[in-house]
Amino acid sequence: MVLFGMADPELDPLDELLDALDGAESGPLVGTSVKLPANLRRAAEMARSMGLIKSTSEVAGEGLRDRLDVITQRAVLERHYRLHPEAQPSLARVARAYAQMHGHPLANHAALIAEAADRVVKDEPEADARDVLIYATALQRERESAA
Amino acid sequence: MPRNENKKSMLILLDNEAVQALIDTGHPKHQDALAFIEADLVGKQSKGAVDLRIPTAVRVEAEWDRTGKSVHVPRLRFHDQPLNAGTANVAAQLRAKHKVSVADAHLGAEIANVAPDQKISVITSDQTDPSSMATSVNRSDTRMCYL
């Protein structure tokens, strides 16, 4: 197992960001000035008055936290792949994982998903798991109608 | 009373083997486990409503100390799902009834704790225990995502 290998010789700014995020749920609240489109602010006020949200600040904080979670998770993965390129899963494997997590009907059709992934990236190099599953669904329907 | 706007529409829990596969670059399913993290990011970007959590007893069994910093262990962003008094009671019942590990019992208790209208998935390579936990707590609709 490669669990506790050598420590990072220098503190990576990403680690500092992760440390800050780990503590993001605690500590005092501070006021901050955020510029919002006037209509967005008005919509938020309406949502609050309807009881749909507790406060604009709370929702804005949650949104910021969720967005930072996604961005940092991506950065952590990219750093891991730079150190361990062999660890990066294929698009097909990610698409299958997405299908499993979301109960997609093709979740158990690994070969079809792999074929779709191979074909879809030829047209769209930036394709993601959802694109692959749409392509795989189309492939399956095409074959069913041809049969 | 505001509605529970904090609740995500899908909860994803990881079991012991999934966590071990994630944190060990030498694990044969390391790449498969990372595929689920990638798929989670795709889901968050499109739906923004996925909550990825690790029951703390699972993290203990997998021996993952998140304060230990190694360049080889990806510092992935997860929320811990700690045992509280209520879930500890359910976990104790599950362990007594099914003779499963503490980690699996905690996993089962967290499945039981999920709101009826919230979808739930478990990432695992164990074909038996997580599924029997879900059935035992009347959440046989839990999706099992096998590595």
Model ipTM?
0.82
Of A3, A52, A54, the CB nearest to B73: A3
- β strands within A1-147, DSSP E: none
Say if residue A144 is exposed, middle or buried (CB neighbours under 10 Å; 0-12, 13-18, 19+): exposed
Residues 90-119 of B with CB under 8 A from A: 119
Tokens of A81: 């792949």
pLDDT digits (tens, 9 = 90+) for A19-78: 888 887 777 888 878 888 999 999 999 999 999 988 888 888 888 888 898 899 999 999
Split at pLDDT 50, 70, 90, the class of B47 is: low
**Shortest Cα distance from B70 to chain A (angstroms)?**
5
The Cα–Cα gap between B28 and A147 comes to 38
- d(Cα A64, Cα A60) in Å, to the nearest integer? 6
DSSP state of B125: S
Separation in Å, CA B129 to CA A107, B14, B87, B88, B104: 21, 13, 18, 18, 7
Compare B132 and B68 and report the one with higher pLDDT.
B132
Q: Per the CB < 8 Å rule, is B36 touching A96?
A: no
Evaluate whether B15 touches B61 at the Cβ level (below 8 Å): no
How does residue B2 score in pLDDT terms, banded at 50, 70 and 90? Answer: very low
- In whole angstroms, give the CA distance from residue A85 to residue A92: 17
Rounded CA-CA distance A115/A101 in Å is: 20
Under a CB-based contact definition with an 8 Å cutoff, are residues A139 and A114 in contact?
A: no
Which pLDDT band, with edges at 50, 70 and 90, does A11 fall under? low
Q: How far is A112 from A115, CA to CA, in rounded Å? A: 5
The A residues from 6 to 65 touching B (CB cutoff 8 Å) are: 6-8, 14-15, 18, 21, 51-54, 59, 62
**For residue range A86-137, what is the model confidence (pLDDT) as tens digits?**
999 999 999 999 999 988 999 999 999 999 999 999 988 899 999 999 999 9
A56 to each of A26, A64, A65, B130, how far by Cα in Å? 19, 12, 14, 39
Q: Is A76 on the interface with B (CB under 8 A)?
A: yes
pLDDT for residue B86: 93
What's the burial of A28, exposed, middle or buried (CB within 10 Å: 0-12/13-18/19+)? exposed
State chain A's maximal CA–CA distance in angstroms: 65
Tokens of A29: 């609240």
Cβ atoms of B83 and B60 within 8 Å: the answer is: no
Q: Read off the amino acid at residue A82.
A: R
What integer pLDDT is reported at residue A13 of this predicted model?
Answer: 87
CB contact under 8 A, A97 and B44: no
Taking CA atoms, B114 is separated from A111, A127, B37, in Å, by: 33, 33, 21
Joined tokens for residue B72: 């080889």
Q: State phi, psi for B126 to the nearest 5 degrees.
A: -90, 120
- Using 50, 70 and 90 to split pLDDT, how confident is the model at A5? very low
Contacts of A74-79 with CB under 8 Å at 24 or more apart are: A74/B41, A75/A14, A75/A17, A76/A14, A76/A18, A76/B74, A76/B75, A76/B76, A76/B77, A77/B34, A77/B37, A77/B38, A77/B41, A77/B74, A77/B76, A79/A12, A79/A14, A79/B74
Q: How high is the pLDDT of residue A6?
A: 46
**Burial class, B36, CB count within 10 angstroms (exposed 0-12 / middle 13-18 / buried 19+):** buried
